[in-house]
């Protein structure tokens, strides 16, 4: 989840391993016995975006953290090219502690400022996952209207972006997304058991209903509730 320089540390439990920047707040949580499983609710909700773009060829993630979504996608979406953009080298240095795969032909971790990196990726991404945080919340560079405009510009037609809005100023972020994508192309799902929400924004037209999902059967089972929630939220607008 980290997107700004800081000193991460690991909190080890019997069942979980957490990435933290401060006491009392987990940036990422991994099951020690099932490292590819999505433990935290909002990570599954964000990947509910796959209901809208069921077979993405290229996925970019803003913020690596403990690599929860990267590991899940690497395992369950083998046809997609994956890139995780992380500004903090200390976070990247912990990738083995969180069982994040090594770079290979379809996955890589890029050490870069995501706000600058996105400017170089016009109309090239099918699914963009934005989960960049530091100890103070969403970094300023990932909060501007320019950033949200660049997110839209980076998507291919039919592309979707998902944003974790764990921030007291979530209404401002939602407004900027509506300016960038258009109000009709933005939907928000509240997290019932957490104090955050996930915003979805897309470049129409979305994939037609009935397009076969590229997710593995196991991946579809793990995301069943999230996929259904996003379908209902978007189609029910």
pLDDT of residue 167: 66
Residue 146 burial (10 A CB sphere; 0-12, 13-18, 19+):
middle
DSSP 184: G
pLDDT of residue 100: 92
| Contact present, 62 and 129 (Cβ < 8 Å) | yes
Catalogue the active-site residues.
Answer: 131
Per-residue pLDDT tens listing for the chain (237 residues): 434 446 888 887 878 777 777 665 667 777 788 888 898 899 999 999 999 999 999 999 999 988 999 999 999 999 999 999 999 999 999 899 889 999 999 999 999 999 999 999 999 999 999 998 776 778 889 999 999 999 999 999 999 999 999 766 888 999 999 999 999 999 999 887 766 899 999 998 888 777 889 999 999 999 999 999 999 998 765
Chain length of the chain: 237
């Amino acid at each position: 989840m980290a997107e700004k320089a800081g000193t991460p540390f690991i909190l080890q439990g019997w069942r979980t391993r957490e990435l933290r920047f401060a006491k009392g707040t987990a940036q990422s949580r991994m099951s020690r016995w099932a490292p590819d499983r999505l433990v935290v609710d909002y990570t599954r909700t964000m990947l509910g975006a796959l209901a809208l773009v069921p077979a993405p060829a290229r996925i970019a993630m803003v913020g690596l953290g403990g690599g929860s979504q990267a590991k899940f996608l690497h395992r369950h979406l083998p046809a997609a090219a994956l890139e995780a953009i992380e500004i903090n080298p200390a976070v990247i240095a912990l990738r083995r502690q969180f069982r994040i795969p090594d770079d290979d032909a379809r996955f890589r971790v890029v050490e870069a400022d995501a706000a600058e990196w996105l400017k170089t990726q016009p109309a090239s991404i099918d699914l963009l996952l934005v989960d960049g945080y530091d100890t103070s919340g969403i970094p300023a560079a990932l909060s501007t209207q320019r950033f949200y405009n660049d997110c839209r510009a980076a998507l291919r037609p039919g592309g979707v972006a998902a944003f974790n809005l764990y921030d007291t100023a979530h209404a401002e972020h939602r407004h900027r997304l509506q300016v960038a994508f258009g109000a009709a192309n933005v939907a928000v799902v509240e997290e019932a058991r957490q104090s955050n929400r996930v915003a979805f924004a897309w470049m129409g037209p979305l994939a037609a209903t009935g397009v076969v999902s590229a997710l593995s059967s196991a991946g579809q089972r793990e995301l069943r509730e999230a996929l259904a929630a996003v379908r209902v939220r978007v189609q029910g607008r």
